[in-house]
Amino acid sequence: MQQNSETQEQQGSLHQTFMPELGASKWGVEHGLKLFYALQSEALRFATKRAHQNFEFMWCLTCCANAQEALKLQQQWCSDTAADYGEECGRMAGLGTDLATASFHPLKGLTCNHPRAPEMKRAA
C-alpha cells in the first residue's frame, strides 16, 4: 500500500514538472470537446424546434381561407423565425462565453516557467 502511494506521488510530481504543455493541451482538448458537444446539442435542439414550427406553419397555411389570411400568417411566421434565430445566436454565444470565462489555472504556469519569461514580460 505504501509503495502505491509513493508511486502516485512520484507521478504527480512528474506531471507537474515534466512537459506541463501536455497538461495544458489535455485541458484545452477536454474543454474544446465539451464546447463542441454543447454546441452540437444546442444546434440539434434548435433545428428540431424550427422544423416543428415550420411544419406547423405549413399546416396552418393550407387552412387559410384567402390570400390575406395567408399573408398575415406568413408575416407572423417571419417575425417568430427572426426572434428564434436571435435567441439562438445568444445561446450559442453564451456557450462560447462559458469556455472563455473558464478557469485557465492549468495554463498559468506555462509562461511563468518559460525560459524566456522575463523577456516576454518586458516585450508586453
User: C-alpha cell of 118?
Assistant: 522575463
Q: What one-letter code names the amino acid at 77?
A: W
The residue among 54 and 119 whose pLDDT is bigger is: 54
Could you report the per-residue pLDDT of 42-78, keeping only the tens digit for each? Answer: 999 999 999 999 999 999 999 999 999 999 999 999 9
Where do the structural domains in the chain lie, given as residue ranges? 44-101
Task: Say yes or no to pLDDT of 84 above 50.
Answer: yes
**pTM of model > 0.85:** no
The residue among 102 and 3 whose pLDDT is bigger is: 102
| Residues 99 and 31: beta-carbon distance below 8 Å | yes
